[in-house]
Every structure is written in C-alpha cells, then in structure tokens.
Structure 1
Amino acid sequence: MSGNGREIVLDGPVGPEVSIAGKRYLYFGGTDYLNMAGRPEVRRGASRAIDDFGVSASASRTSSGTLQIHLELERAAADFAGSETAVIYSSGYLGMSILLSGLLADGDTLIVHRDAHSSIVEAARAWSPGFLEFDLDNLDSLADQLGRVTGGGRVVVAGEGVSPLFGRVFPLAEVVEMLGGRESLIFIDDAHGFGVLGKNGRGTADHFGVDSPAVVICATLSKAFGSFGGIVPATTEQKKCICNNSLVYQCSTPTPAPVCGAAVAALSYAAANQGLFRQLAENNRLLRETLAGVGLDVPDSPAPIIALASSSKLNPRQLCDRLFEAGILAPFTSYPGSPEGGMVRLVTTAGHTAEQIGQLGEAIGRLL
C-alpha cells in the first residue's frame, strides 16, 4: 500500500526498478531477495514448462496429479538444500501445516514462539490445540516451558527463521543447545531465510552452521526464488511420513507446471551463481550503513529487511508518500504484527546497485 492506503499496481515485472502508470520507480519493498522474479532464465523456465505440461495437473499427487516437472522440482530443491529429497506443495503458507500434520505424533508437545507468522499459529491451532508458547527475545521462557513438559513424547519447537517484518533471526544454535539430549524436533518456517542466509544460501541453519537431523525446515519459492509454492527439504523417511500422514499434502492439487518450471530455473541459477548471496549480504550491509549515516537507529541483522516505524524523527505514512513523489517505492504496511501506526518495510536485493542504495539514503536524509 501507499501511505494514503491506495493499492499499488505494477505495470510489469518486479525488480530493483518497477513501472507504475508508465513511470519508473526505484523499488525497495517486497521479497524478491535474489532478483529472480523477472530474470530471463526464470521466465524461460516457466514458458518451457507450460509448453510441455500445460498449467495444472488437475489431480492430487495421491491419484494421477504427478507431472515430470514436479519430480524435477523435487530434485532441484533437494540439490540446492543439500537434502536427500524434498516435498513440494502449492503454497508456502501451508508449510507448517504440512510439517505438523505429517511429522507430529500423539504425545508430542509443541512449543511455538509468540508473534510467529499467522501460518505457523494457524497450523499449531489446527494440529496441536494445546500448544505452549515462549518469548523469542527471552529464551529463559523456553527453558521454563521445557521444564513443564511431562510424558514420554517428543518436544517440538516451531518458529519462523526470519521475521518478515523486522528481519529478526531465530536463535537456532541456542535452541538446539537448550534441547540437548532430549528427544526433540525443531520445525523452522524459513520463508525469508531460504535463499537469503548462509554462505550457500540454504537459510537459517546454514547461517548458524547447524547441521542437525532434529532441524526440519519448510520454505517458499515465492520470495528469494521469484516463483511460487512451498518445499520441505527432507530425508526419505520424513518424506514418506509427510506423504502418508498429511491430509494437507494428500488432498491438495500440486504446484502448477509453469510455476515449477520457473522454480527449477531459479534454483539452478542460484546454485550456479553463488555470488548472488555475497552481493545480497553486501547490499544489506550497505543499506544499513547508509541509513545509520542519515541518523536512523538501524539494528544489525543478516536479513535484508529493515523496519522504519513511527518515532520522533519519522512518520512512516508520510515518508512513504514523500519517497514516492521522489521516484522511490518503499511501501507502507500495517501487515499483522506491525507496530502501532504501521511501518515502512525496506528491502534490498541482490539486484540493487550501490548508486541506487545511495539514492534511497539521500532521499530519506532530506525528508527527516
């Protein structure tokens, strides 16, 4: 949304610049972290898939709904993630529902951090109504909940790898250590970490150097990879459990063919161009440094997401509108979980140049 609440309608593809009503704007919003959404290779992947397979499989994977392109995407996702195999499904929003319905067992205790994304909370309510909560900024609260767990089942901790609004990163290494020798699982929705964090772009676990069989992620292909649909990088046994147990997986039509083709192309391109992750990290560092240089208090984070909320210096609605007048689209949002008064959610991508980031900083500096 713009600051005045009008819907923003783009004339063409997403990128570091976008077109609105025939005018070009610098764009610092959204989730196209690797600058994939408009990349020619990704478009060609979608085009080839629609030529070969049409659009929809028009059946579930449990009947006759498996296309060859679905198997190609599973292989590409597993190769990128470094897993044995992968599960794919139609929307990343369903990821935690897939994990909980497929892998949670009777007697398990689910613990979810407060302020988690609605997709996580809704999944927890559906599949484990008595779930416990802890405060992500106070891991003593997790220790307290662990101390209350009784019975012989597993402890399952669930949360988001990267906060979509503030760029806060789940303290995965600390949580793994806290669970120690306890029989446990950690389910991470890494929608904003997969393709973003870590030297290999594999997400939150890659960022912390965590390699544990207890950690299972779900992720989306609609953000860093410019396509759509969800994935679970999995072991063969985990995939078997999900496919056999999850009604969410069994009873839904799989990802459309052109979307799969785009995702295969994006995953392959990212795997062959590891410099994308270094460029994204450098642009994130530069944007934070630039904003600090004009007097804003910007917390450090490896995620390329910066929230500009109301303060004595800043009115986010007005900032959004003034930037738009200056030819910069930095959308205002009151997305669930936003601070009172909303915020401008700034995002840099691997496609931004240092000059473009400098233009944003100069414009904000003039408006403060």
Structure 2
Amino acid sequence: MAISIPRIPDRLIQANGTEYLYFGGTAYLGLQAYPAFTEIFLKNVERYGMHYGASRRSNVALDIYQQAEAHLASWVGSAACLTMSSGYLAAQLVIQHLLEQGHALFAAPNAHTAMLMNGVKKTSSFEELNLALRKEISNNRPLPVLLFDTIDFTSKQFPHFEALQQLPLDKMILVGDDSHGIGIVGDYGTGCYGILKKLNPVQLLVCCSLGKGLGIQAGAVFGNSKLITSLKATPFFGGASPALPAFMGTLIDAEPVYETRRKTLMENYQLFLDTLDKHQSFQHMIGHPTFEFENATLAQKLEERGFIVTNFNYPDANGPLVSRIVLSAYHKKEDVLQLTNCLNTLLT
C-alpha cells in the first residue's frame, strides 16, 4: 500500500505521524525543493509565463526552445537535440518514426515500458537479441534498431556496455533511454551519449526524461542533425504541446547549480560506499547512486528503523518488485551514516 504524503518528498517525509529519512525515488540531485533552483525557475516563470499555448510548428516561435536545445546538444556532445513535454513522449516519438520508416525494432532485456510499443519485438536475453539482430541484418532490409536502457539496474549496460559490444553495431541503429543517466553520470553529468558514440554504431539516438537528473518536467532526444530534423518534421512532434518555456530557461540558467549538486551527490555516494560493510548484498553499477537488493524483508526492517526506500511493483501490480536504495544530493552526511550504520547491523 502506498504511503500518502501531502507534499513532494525530500530527505525527510512525514507519514502516519512518523518522520522518516527517504532514500527512494529518482530525484538524484534533490532539486525539487532546493531554494537556489526554485528561485531560478520562478524567475523564468516571470519571464516566460506558465504555458506556451501553441505548436512548435507554429508561425510564431518562442526562441527559448531553440536556445535550450542548442545548449543541451552542446553540453551532451551531440550535433542536435529536440525537447518534448516528457521523456515518455520523447521515446514514443523516436520509436513511432523509426517504425514508420520500415525499420525492425528490437527491445533489449529490461527496456523501459516507454519503449515497448506495438511493433517492437521484445527479447528476454542478449543471446536471443544477438541472434535476432543478425538474422534481420542478413535479410537486407532497413537497418535494425536496438532499444535499450543505458541504466537498466542489472549491470548489463553502464558503465562499460559489454553486452552491446557483442552486437553487430556497425550494421544497426542504437536508441538508448538515458533517463537515469543524464545529469548524473559521465563527464560533468552529461550522461551516456558520449560513451555510446565511442562504440561507433551506424546511427545513435539517445532519448531521456530531464526530470530525474535535472529537475525539469520535459524530455529530450539527442542525435545527428539529419535525424533530429526528420523527427521535428513529424506530425507527432508538431501536434504535441511543448514543455513549459520556463523549464527551458531554467535548464540554461541552472548549470552552476547542477554541477554543485552533482558534486554533493557524488560525495554522498562515496561516503555510502566507504561506510557500508556488505557491498555484496546489493546490485550496483559503479558511478551510479542506486543500490538494488532482493532481500524481501530488508525494506520493511528499514522502515521499522526510520528509513523509507523504493519498494514497489513496477511498471504495474503484476510487475517485479523493485527494491532500491537511492542516494540524493539532498541527503546530509549524517543521513548517509545513519543508513549505513543501520544496514551494517541488519546485514550481519
């Protein structure tokens, strides 16, 4: 049963008359109530208003969108970028367009539900995926497309992408969902685009939510100029309402805040690693501030001791139980130490 709370969670949440330290969710930089960040956002609300009531294809164009997309592309290292109102829509735009172009689309194991549209072929293992891709390549049809999560919480992808490197990347298109990477991993938090580019696929697109790492309710797609231009020409892009223009301005203005908060997050991450005794109790990707576990009773024991962690079935009630400790920049050093002291006691 979900814990009902009256406001967006921060490091502390109140539930049933009890105060808990919160180590769940996806607010990695802890920006949702961070005064320096909200101040930047409110200034952009004053400048751009709450909503842009027009299509991005309109004959009147608000220039902050183009500025923000150029800023994001330069930061990540792609030739071009487009934004939409959510990461889910960004992924759907890419997938629908590639299906319409006649490509066969394959979803890697553990691919996000946003990528599992009708027409996408699901695979249950990388062995199955490898065989399916090579068979499609041998048919001399349009290049096959692989859909995958850069951060899939199984250690199959980030940071080294060993499973991808076993695939015929020189004969296929990669589409990565970097929602849990951008703003967090890579040089200066630029995510996985640069890492994937070095694998030399024929073409690369990276889509993502900007909410988890950057605190912005919007989505983005990164790629070469030709691909991004073709996506912007679709009815899907033209018919969808854009993200709030104030969010676009905040993306640009908050760059120093992002870097400061990421530094704090990485300090908390290193403190957790340094003070946790039983690393083997968790599944962990080096450099990412999340720690998955399969101990069915651990989440309940932590709650009894004043800690709430991610612990629910995803993406629906029939999905697997997701149990995960998530570190954030909003945590204080003493919060992290309290948690690791508790874990060291429980995991003896």
Q: TM-score, normalised by structure 1?
A: 0.80
Matched, 1:359 2:332: no
Distance 1:281 1:206, change over 3 A: farther
Distance 1:289 1:143, change over 3 A: same
Deviations 1:283-319, CA, capped at 9 Å, x for gaps: 334434544x1586123313222223344xx353x23
- 1:283 counterpart (268, 272, 275): 268
- 1:116 counterpart (105, 111, 119): 111
Once residues 211 and 338 of structure 1 are traced to their aligned partners in structure 2, the CA distance between those partners, rounded to angstroms, is 37
Q: Give the match for residue 41 of structure 2.
A: 46
Q: Give the match for residue 335 of structure 1.
A: 314
Tell me if the contact between 2:178 and 2:207 (Cα under 8 Å) persists in the aligned partners: yes
RMSD: 3.1
Q: Give the match for residue 29 of structure 2.
A: 34
Tell me if the contact between 2:155 and 2:284 (Cα under 8 Å) persists in the aligned partners: no
Once residues 227 and 252 of structure 1 are traced to their aligned partners in structure 2, the CA distance between those partners, rounded to angstroms, is 17
- Please tell me the residue identity of whatever aligns with 1:336: P
**In the TM superposition, what are the counterparts of 1:1-368 in structure 2 within 5 Å?**
5-11=1-7, 14-18=9-13, 25-64=20-59, 66-104=61-99, 106-122=101-117, 125=118, 129=119, 131-135=120-124, 138-149=125-136, 150-163=139-152, 169=157, 172=161, 174-176=163-165, 178-182=167-171, 184-207=172-195, 210=198, 212=200, 214-245=203-234, 247-267=235-255, 269-270=257-258, 273=259, 276-277=261-262, 279-288=264-273, 290-291=275-276, 293=277, 297-302=281-286, 303-311=288-296, 314-316=297-299, 318-323=300-305, 326=306, 328-336=307-315, 342-367=321-346
Tell me if the contact between 2:165 and 2:199 (Cα under 8 Å) persists in the aligned partners: no
Distance 1:346 1:45, change over 3 A: same
Aligned residues: 342
Following TM superposition, by how much is the alpha carbon of 1:205 offset from its aligned partner in structure 2, in angstroms? 3.9
Following TM superposition, by how much is the alpha carbon of 1:218 offset from its aligned partner in structure 2, in angstroms? 0.5
Tell me if the contact between 1:36 and 1:226 (Cα under 8 Å) persists in the aligned partners: yes
Tell me if the contact between 2:149 and 2:177 (Cα under 8 Å) persists in the aligned partners: yes
Once residues 348 and 73 of structure 1 are traced to their aligned partners in structure 2, the CA distance between those partners, rounded to angstroms, is 28
Deviations 1:312-352, CA, capped at 9 Å, x for gaps: xx353x235314xx2x3324322227998834321012343
> Secondary structure of 2:187's partner?
coil
Once residues 54 and 111 of structure 1 are traced to their aligned partners in structure 2, the CA distance between those partners, rounded to angstroms, is 41
Following TM superposition, by how much is the alpha carbon of 1:159 offset from its aligned partner in structure 2, in angstroms? 1.0
Following TM superposition, by how much is the alpha carbon of 1:54 offset from its aligned partner in structure 2, in angstroms? 1.6
Once residues 156 and 238 of structure 1 are traced to their aligned partners in structure 2, the CA distance between those partners, rounded to angstroms, is 14
Once residues 263 and 155 of structure 2 are traced to their aligned partners in structure 1, the CA distance between those partners, rounded to angstroms, is 18
- Please tell me the residue identity of whatever aligns with 2:11: P
> Gaps (5+ residues) in structure 1?
none
The percentage of counterpart residues that share the same residue type is: 21
Q: TM-score, normalised by structure 2?
A: 0.84
Distance 1:146 1:6, change over 3 A: closer
> Secondary structure of 1:159's partner?
strand
Distance 1:169 1:339, change over 3 A: farther
